[in-house]
Structure 1
C-alpha cells in the first residue's frame, strides 16, 4: 500500500484514535484540525486518501471536498466522508458533491482501517485486471466484509453486484447469469452450500462457477461437501482476499466445468450439509464459551478497577486511602498507634495520625523535633528507639512524650524518591528489633505502593485535580495553575488567584459541601493572565475525616470547545429562526401591500382623469401621493428584511458594504432616532468577501449596542458615526463609533466572551459580540475596539476584498414601454382577491382579463381547453401552490406553461427558493408597479 492518509477533523480525540490505528498498521498519517490546514496539506503533501469530517469550524465540509479535488491536480485521490450525522438526504448530497464513500461515526478502529486501506492505491502486477469484461455476483451477510470484497474485486476489473444473502444472490444470478459467483458460507436461510447446490441444479446456470469463502468451515469434510455440492472451490477468507483472487484466476482460466450433482446423492448431500452445519454450530458454541470465559475474566479485572474507582470516589483523597492501608497493616502487626509524615510541595512535613490519642499533643511536629524526620527521610535511614544512634536525652524525651516503650521510624520512598517517614509506636510489649524493622519496611513498601498508585492517578489525570480545605487552601494540585507552578500554589488559597465567575461558583459549592456533605458541580469561566477565557466544568466531592467534612476534592475539565460548539449551534438556530421569520413576515406583508400600491396607483390615475372634467377637493391628489410614498417606505422596509431571511445559507461572495449598512440602519432606526444624531461618512470601497445576512447581523448588533451605550434624553449632544475606508493593505474597514459611556476596564477582557452581558437580566443573551467575533473571523477579517470611559467606544471591522463584483440589488426590473399590438387573453391567479381584481381592472383597458383566486379554478379552465397569452400566477398559495400548478400545466400543455409569469412576495420555503433558481419563467417581485406589469404583458403578447 502506498500514499499518505490525511485525517480532517476538528476533534483531537477522534484524530488521535484514527492516527494511532492507521500508524499501527504501518501507514503514514497527516492531520488537519480545520479546512484551511487541510487545503495547505493537500497542496504540499498530496495524500492519496482523505478522511474528512463534514462539520468543521472554519468551512463547510461539502464545499471543502470540491476544493480538495481541485488541488489534487488529477491525482486519483479517494475522499471519504466521516460523520455521525448523516441522513438519507445527506447521503445523496455527499455522493453528488464528490465524496467516494461514507464512513459513519462511531466506528471501531479494527473496522475503520480495512475500509480506508480498501481505498488506497494498490500495486498492479501484470495480468491483475483479469476480471475485465466479466460479471461477478458476491453474497455476504456482513456489510463490512461485503464492501471490502466489492472494492478489491472491482479493482481487478470485475463488474461486481453485491447482495446481502444467499436468497438474493440466487435471484440475481437467475435474473442475469454472471461469469462467476462468490459466496460466504455461513449465512442465514440460504448458506453458501445451499446456494452452490441451487446454482448447479439449475440447467441455465449449471456451468457458472461458484467459489465459496469461509472463516469457519476449514475441516477436510467441509471441503469435500463443497466439492460435492457443486462449488468450484472453498477458500479461506484472508484480509487481502489473496486466496480468493488466486482461486478466481484459476477457475476462470480453466476450461473444465464444475462437476454436476448426482440426483441420487441429493439425500446424502442434505444430511451431510446438516451435519456440517451442526458441527459448525458446536464449534461456534465452544468458541463463544471460551469468549464468555475470557469476558468473565475481563469482567473480574474491571470489577477490581471499579472497586478502586469506588474507593477513590468514596474517600475523595489520597490520605483516606493511606489511612485505610495503614490501619489494616497496623492491625495485622499488633501496632495500635502511629503517624505518617509526608513532604508537601514546599518540603514541609504534613502529619497524618493513625490511632493517636487526643490527649497526646506534639505528634504533628514530632514533639518539636521535625528536623529529625527530615534527616531520616533525606538519608533513607531506619531508626529504632531506644537506640544508641540518638543522644540518650533526645531518645528518652521522644519515648516519654509519646508514652511509648518503643518507636520505629521507617523512611518512605516512591519511584526511588523520598516522600516522607512512617512512625510506629508500641506500648506494653517488647519486639525483636530486626523483626520490627522488617515489619516496618514491609508496611512502608505497601504505603509507597498506595501513594505511588494514587499519585499516578492524580498526576496522570487530563483534568485539574486538587485537594482543598473548606476555606480554599490548596493541599494538592496535579498541574500548574496558569503561570504558577503547582509547587508554588500548594499551601496558598485558591481564591487569591483571579478567576472571575469560577471563584464565585467555587465559594458557593464549598459552602454547600460543608453544609450538606453532598457532591456539587457547576460550569463557569476563568480568565487567564493573557486575557483569554477558558470554560471549566467543575465537580467537587467532600473529604471526610471521622464523619466530618474537612475539605473537598476538585476536578475541573476544560470545556471551552464544547462552549464554542454550543455557541455555533445557537448562532445557526438563531439565524435560521430569524431568516424564517423575516421571510414569512415579508411574504405576508408583500401580498396586501401589492394590492394597496396597485389600487393607489389606479386611484391616482382616475383622480387625474376626473380632475380634467370635474372640480375635486384641492388636497385629494396630494393625499393619495402621500399614501403612495408611505407604501413605498413599507416596501423598502420589507426589502431590508430580506437581508436577514437568508441565514441558512453559508455561501460567501462579494457583498456591498454600504448597501448592508443602509439596510441595517433602517432596521435599527427605532433604536437610534431618540438617542443620538447619525453621522455617515462613506468612501467608495470595493465589495468584501462575506455573507450578506451574517454581515448584516454583525452590523445590527454593533449599531444597537452603540445606541444602548448612550443614555436617552440628550439627543443633540450625542452621535453615532459610521465610516467606511480602505486600509494600507487594501482591506475594507468599517468603523462604528458612539459617544456613550465607554467600556469599563474590568469588562474589556470578557467583551467577546460567550454568555457575558453587561445588560440587565432578560435584555441580552451575552452572545451578540461573541457571535459577531466568530462571524468576522470566519470571513477572514478582524474586529477590534477602542474605548474610553465617559467618552465612548469605536469598533473597527476589517474585511478582505472580494474577487468579483457585488450582486446586483433586488430592485424591480423596468422594461421599455411596449404598447399592446393586439388585445390579448390574460389569466390572473392570486389568493389575494383585492390584488387580483386590481390587476384585472388595470389590464382590462387593453386586454381580456380573467381573475381567479384558487389554482384549482385555473386548472379547470385550462383542462377545458381555454388558452391564454399570459398567465400571471402567485407563487405561494394555499392547497395548490404556483409551483404545483406549473407542473400540472407543463403536463397538460408545455407551451402554455412557458407563458406563466410568477408573482412572488418572497420565497421563504426552501422548495420555492430552489424552484425560482431553476425555472426559466419570468417573475415579478411584490409589491410591484402596475405599469411594469403592463409593460411585461404587452411585451409577451406578439
Structure 2
C-alpha cells in the first residue's frame, strides 16, 4: 500500500483537523518544492496564497465538521503556493479517513497549469471565430459558449451555460432535434456545415432564422462533448434569393425582348396602315359610307393597337437590351398621359384628384417614366378592392424642393402590412398575391427612377392608405436643341431606302411615307447593298434585326460603299435580343426608333438626319 501511495501521479497529503500535514508522498515534494521533512512541519494553510489563506482556513474548518468525499475542480479557480513563492492552478480531491483516535483527511492535489494554458488557447480560438460556438454534452446541456452567441442568439454567455441546447431550437423542431442529438452521440463524427442546408435556429426574442451548423466531437476527461459552430445565414440567403431573382429577371428580360420583337413587327404594319387609312378617309371622304363613322371605326382600331403597343412597351421594361433615350421631358405632360392610360383601372374604383404644383423638366425617358406613374396609379386603384367607389380617393400631386421634382400618388385604401413595408421594393413581394400581382412593378419602377438619380419613397399604414413619392433631380442647363422650326411640318421630298425583311412591315411604312418621300423597299441586306450600287439615296431606314446579317455588319458594309450615308442611317427596332444587336443599339442611341413608330416622329427623324449630312 505504501508503494501505491508513493507512486500516485498526484500530490497526496494527509492532514489532521487542525491542518497539520502528517503524511505526504514523493509527488507532493516535487509539486511544492519542499522536502518531505519541511512539508511534515507545515500547516496545509501555508500551501495556499496569502490573499486567500483566511478564507481557506474557514473552508477547511467547515469541511472537518461535516467531511464527505469531494472533488474541488479547477474551474472554481483554486490556486496553490510553492516554496519559492510561485503559484499554480490546482484541482483538489478531499476524502475523510477513518481513524480510531482522531479524524484525518486526505487531499489529492493536481497541477492543472498546462490544462489551463490549453483552455486559454482554446478560448482564444473560440472567441476569434465569428460563428457562435456552443459545446454540449450527451444530455444536451450547454457546457461553454463563446462571445459570438450574444450577436447570433441575443443571449449573454452566462445565460446559456447550464441550459439545454433546445432553447436555441425552434419550438416545432425540438422533439426532432432531441432525437438527432441522441443519434449523433451514439455515433459521433465530424459534420460540415454544408451537410444540412435547411436548418433553423431560434433567437432569444423568439425570432427564427436560417442557420448553418457544423458538429465536431471531442474527447475530454468528462467524456465525449460536441462542439457546434452555428452561423446565421439570413443575409446569405437574402443574397442567394437576389441572385436567383436576378437570373429569373434576366431570363424574363430576354423572353420579353423576343416577344416584343415578334409583336411589334405586325403591330407596325397594323398601325401604319390605320394611319394611312385615316389620312385617306380624311382626304377623299368615305365613298358610300359615312366618313365620320369610318373615321370613328379607324380611330377605335388605332386605340386598340395603341393599347397593345403600351403593353409591349411595358414588356420591354423587363429587358435592358433596348436602348431608351434619356432626354429633357415635361413631367406634367407625362402625368396627363399616364392618368389617361390608367383611367380604365381607376374610374370604377376611386375618384382621381389632380393637384399639381410647379414641375420643372427632368432628364428621363418618357416611356419609362410613364410606365412608373401608370404602375403607381394602378397599384393605388387596386388598394380599394371590395370597397365602395364614393369613399375611395386617389390623389396625385407634385411639388419641388431645391433640387428635385416630387410627384406623390396617395390613396386611402388598405395600406401595406407592416411586415412587408421594408421589402416592398424587393422582386416578387406583393400585397396582391390573391389578385394575381406579380411583385415586379415596384422593383422595376424603383430601378428606372434610380437610373435617373432619383428615388421612390413610401409611407403607409395598414388600413389607412399609402403614399408613394417619386423624387427626380431637376434638369440642369438648357433644353436640348430641337430641329429648326418648320422642318418637320414641311419636309423636303427625299429618296429613302427602307430595309426590312418583313414585306408587310416594309409595305405599310413605305405606303405611309409615300405622301412625303420616294421610298425604295429592300427585303434583305444583300438587296440593299446591290441597290446602293445602282442608285443614289438621301437616307437609309433599316430594321435592326434581320436574319443572316447582324446590324453592325451591314453598317460596316454600307460604310465601305457610301460612308456619308452610313453615318446618318436610321434604324427601326421591334426589340433586340442578340448580344450584338444590344451592343449596336447602345452605340447609336439617337438614331434608333422603336416600332411601331409614329409617322410624325419618323418624318422628324428623317428630316433631321438628312439636314445633318
Correspondent of 1:738 among 394, 404, 411 = 411
Q: Is the 8 A contact 2:498 2:540 kept in 1?
A: yes
What corresponds to 1:284 in structure 2? none
- Structure 2 residue 131 is the aligned partner of structure 1 residue 463: yes
Q: C-alpha distance in 2, partners of 1:765/1:420? A: 68
Q: C-alpha distance in 2, partners of 1:919/1:492? A: 68
Correspondent of 1:452 among 110, 120, 135 = 120
What corresponds to 2:549 in structure 1? 880
Structure 1: gaps spanning 5 or more residues: 1-331, 336-374, 429-435
**Secondary structure, aligned partner of 2:263:** helix
**Secondary structure, aligned partner of 1:626:** helix
Shift of 1:838: 3.0
Correspondent of 1:597 among 271, 274, 279 = 271
Give CA deviations for 1:599-641 in whole Å, capped at 9, x if unaligned: 2233234445554765668733321232233334444454555
**Secondary structure, aligned partner of 2:150:** coil
Shift of 1:539: 0.8
Q: C-alpha distance in 1, partners of 2:201/2:363? A: 33
Q: C-alpha distance in 2, partners of 1:840/1:778? A: 37
Q: C-alpha distance in 2, partners of 1:510/1:742? A: 40
**Secondary structure, aligned partner of 1:619:** helix
Q: What RMSD over aligned residues (CA atoms) do the two structures have, in Å?
A: 6.1
**Secondary structure, aligned partner of 2:490:** coil
Q: C-alpha distance in 1, partners of 2:336/2:90? A: 73
Correspondent of 1:830 among 496, 500, 511 = 500
Question: Using a 3 Å threshold, how does the CA distance of structure 1 residues 708 and 514 change in structure 2: closer, same or farther?
Answer: farther
Q: C-alpha distance in 2, partners of 1:691/1:534? A: 44
Q: C-alpha distance in 2, partners of 1:650/1:393? A: 93
Give CA deviations for 1:256-305 in whole Å, capped at 9, x if unaligned: xxxxxxxxxxxxxxxxxxxxxxxxxxxxxxxxxxxxxxxxxxxxxxxxxx
Give CA deviations for 1:48-101 in whole Å, capped at 9, x if unaligned: xxxxxxxxxxxxxxxxxxxxxxxxxxxxxxxxxxxxxxxxxxxxxxxxxxxxxx
Shift of 1:872: 3.3
Q: Is the 8 A contact 1:654 1:804 kept in 2?
A: no
**Residues 337-356 of structure 1: matches in 2 within 5 Å?**
none
Q: C-alpha distance in 1, partners of 2:487/2:532? A: 29
- Structure 2 residue 294 is the aligned partner of structure 1 residue 620: yes
Q: Is the 8 A contact 2:321 2:577 kept in 1?
A: no
What corresponds to 1:71 in structure 2? none
Q: C-alpha distance in 1, partners of 2:165/2:445? A: 34
**Secondary structure, aligned partner of 1:623:** helix
Question: Using a 3 Å threshold, how does the CA distance of structure 1 residues 392 and 846 change in structure 2: closer, same or farther?
Answer: closer
Give CA deviations for 1:471-525 in whole Å, capped at 9, x if unaligned: 997653322625754334545678889xxxx846875873563475386554669
Q: C-alpha distance in 2, partners of 1:635/1:757? A: 26
Question: Using a 3 Å threshold, how does the CA distance of structure 1 residues 838 and 655 change in structure 2: closer, same or farther?
Answer: closer
Correspondent of 2:261 among 587, 592, 598 = 587
Q: C-alpha distance in 1, partners of 2:247/2:240? A: 10
Q: Is the 8 A contact 1:543 1:551 kept in 2?
A: yes
Question: Using a 3 Å threshold, how does the CA distance of structure 1 residues 832 and 746 change in structure 2: closer, same or farther?
Answer: closer
Q: Is the 8 A contact 1:757 1:766 kept in 2?
A: yes
**Residues 277-356 of structure 1: matches in 2 within 5 Å?**
none
Q: C-alpha distance in 1, partners of 2:319/2:62? A: 88
Give CA deviations for 1:175-215 in whole Å, capped at 9, x if unaligned: xxxxxxxxxxxxxxxxxxxxxxxxxxxxxxxxxxxxxxxxx
Q: C-alpha distance in 2, partners of 1:667/1:706? A: 14
What corresponds to 2:158 in structure 1? 487
Q: Is the 8 A contact 1:661 1:696 kept in 2?
A: yes
Q: C-alpha distance in 1, partners of 2:394/2:606? A: 47
Q: In the comparison of the two structures, how many residue pairs are matched? A: 541
Q: Is the 8 A contact 1:643 1:692 kept in 2?
A: no
**Secondary structure, aligned partner of 2:357:** coil
Q: C-alpha distance in 2, partners of 1:868/1:845? A: 17
What corresponds to 1:79 in structure 2? none
What corresponds to 1:867 in structure 2? 536
Structure 2: gaps spanning 5 or more residues: 1-6, 11-47, 80-86, 99-105
Q: Give the TM-score normalised by the residue count of structure 2.
A: 0.64
What corresponds to 2:21 in structure 1? none
Q: Is the 8 A contact 1:686 1:801 kept in 2?
A: no
Q: C-alpha distance in 1, partners of 2:428/2:177? A: 24
Shift of 1:440: 3.1
Shift of 1:848: 5.9
Q: C-alpha distance in 1, partners of 2:440/2:325? A: 23
Q: Is the 8 A contact 2:218 2:224 kept in 1?
A: yes
Q: C-alpha distance in 2, partners of 1:601/1:695? A: 26
Q: C-alpha distance in 1, partners of 2:66/2:428? A: 64
Q: C-alpha distance in 1, partners of 2:176/2:497? A: 73
Q: Is the 8 A contact 1:655 1:687 kept in 2?
A: yes
Give CA deviations for 1:709-732 in whole Å, capped at 9, x if unaligned: 5434644433444433335x6554
- Structure 2 residue 531 is the aligned partner of structure 1 residue 857: no
Give CA deviations for 1:222-258 in whole Å, capped at 9, x if unaligned: xxxxxxxxxxxxxxxxxxxxxxxxxxxxxxxxxxxxx
Shift of 1:854: 1.7
What corresponds to 1:792 in structure 2? 465
Q: Is the 8 A contact 1:902 1:921 kept in 2?
A: no
What corresponds to 1:894 in structure 2? 563
Shift of 1:833: 1.0
Q: Is the 8 A contact 1:640 1:663 kept in 2?
A: no
Question: Using a 3 Å threshold, how does the CA distance of structure 1 residues 658 and 570 change in structure 2: closer, same or farther?
Answer: farther
Q: Give the TM-score normalised by the residue count of structure 1.
A: 0.45
Question: Using a 3 Å threshold, how does the CA distance of structure 1 residues 860 and 607 change in structure 2: closer, same or farther?
Answer: same
Q: C-alpha distance in 2, partners of 1:552/1:607? A: 88
Correspondent of 1:926 among 580, 592, 595 = 595
Q: C-alpha distance in 2, partners of 1:754/1:599? A: 39
Shift of 1:592: 1.9
What corresponds to 1:291 in structure 2? none
Shift of 1:741: 3.2
Question: Using a 3 Å threshold, how does the CA distance of structure 1 residues 412 and 441 change in structure 2: closer, same or farther?
Answer: farther
Bigger RCO of structures 1 and 2 (CA < 8 A, at least 6 apart): 2
**Residues 35-434 of structure 1: matches in 2 within 5 Å?**
379=52, 389=61, 392-395=64-67, 398=68, 409=72, 411-412=74-75, 422-423=92-93
Q: C-alpha distance in 2, partners of 1:832/1:676? A: 44
Question: Using a 3 Å threshold, how does the CA distance of structure 1 residues 810 and 541 change in structure 2: closer, same or farther?
Answer: farther
**Secondary structure, aligned partner of 2:571:** strand
Q: C-alpha distance in 2, partners of 1:551/1:770? A: 49
Correspondent of 2:574 among 905, 910, 915 = 905
